[in-house]
Amino acid sequence: MNNSRKAILLALLAVTLWSTAATAFKISLQELDYVNLLLYSSMVSKVVLFIIVLLKKEYNGILTRRSFMQSALLGFLNPFLYYMILLKAYSLLPAQIAQPLNYLWPVMLSLLAVPLLGQRLKPAALIALVISFTGVAVISQQGQWFHIEKEDITGVFLAAGSSVIWALYWILNMRDKRKDAPRLFLNFLFGSFYIIIYTLLFHEVRSPWSYSGLAAVYVGIFEMGFTFFLWMTALQYASAAAKVSNLVFLSPFLSLIFIHFILGESIYVTTLPGIILILGGILVSEMIKDKKGNANKTN
């Protein structure tokens, strides 16, 4: 099997596993609150990532002052702040609503690139924003046009807001030259530390020994830990990262299958059109990047 096929297969496996995350979140939230879900899943993912670091023998240079300082910031953004906001959104919204709203991050990336990377916000990027946020408006209706509860508005704001945190995390990661496995491990090590402190100071620790606790373990392995390793490996095998990275946008559609048949959620008439609009805006945003990349190559 050549490297291109390996990249596609590994990426599809990673996307499939990520597509189950929304279902696992909701199962875990049946008995655990979002803080305890994050507490236990981040601890599991930290162990998984540490094992990967040992297997890959990439622990040289991991214990440096610079590496610790970088991960202290990145670990605060993800997993601590990002998942705290995202899981709170899942506790307020149906899975079919919260999951696609989190995929606004490529559009948010275009916005944040203006102040942080000094890029211009082109008219086409504004069109992408309008298309995606129209999708947000449609999907937020939950099948009832012009009717949305206050709690739903909060959940929508949080789910969409989590994409801003992820986009910021992505930009900062672009400047991080460390190897992927040790970087992720240290990020989750610091993130777990923040979550433990937050839980001990402001929250109640609940027992993980339940069906929901098993779902939290699943999240730690297949949302935060092992699946990241699969994705990173797929990118390493790929001849062009874009060919692999675009596969991640299959996830909202695959997620609906698990959400419907495992959680038993009836898919709203507004869900599919909303997802299509959100991903349509992302597609426009990606096309802008491709054109810019080609222009740069010819200069």
What is the block-wise mean pLDDT of the chain (299 residues), using blocks of 10 residues? 85 94 96 95 95 86 84 95 97 92 83 78 79 87 67 87 92 83 92 96 88 94 89 81 77 93 92 91 73 44
Count of CB atoms situated within 10 Å of the CB of 148: 15
Output the pLDDT for position 297: 38
Count of CB atoms situated within 10 Å of the CB of 217: 17
Output the pLDDT for position 149: 62
Domain count, the chain: 1
Q: In three state form, how does the secondary structure of the chain look?
A: CCHHHHHHHHHHHHHHHHHCHHHHHHHHCCCCCHHHHHHHHHHHHHHHHHHHHHHHCCCCCCCCHHHHHHHHHHHHHHHHHHHHHHHHHHHHCCHHHHHHHHHHHHHHHHHHHHHHHCCCCCHHHHHHHHHHHHHHHHHCCCCCCCCCCHHHHHHHHHHHHHHHHHHHHHHHHHCCCCCHHHHHHHHHHHHHHHHHHHHHHHCCCCCCCCHHHHHHHHHHHHHHHHHHHHHHHHHHHCCCHHHHHHHHHHHHHHHHHHHHHHHCCCCCCCHHHHHHHHHHHHHHHHHHHHHHHHHHHHC
Q: Alpha-carbon Rg of the chain, whole angstroms?
A: 19
Output the pLDDT for position 298: 34
Output the pLDDT for position 178: 84
Query: What is the CA angle 21-164-242, rounded to 5?
Result: 70
Output the pLDDT for position 289: 61
Output the pLDDT for position 210: 83
State which residues form the domain around 60: 3-298
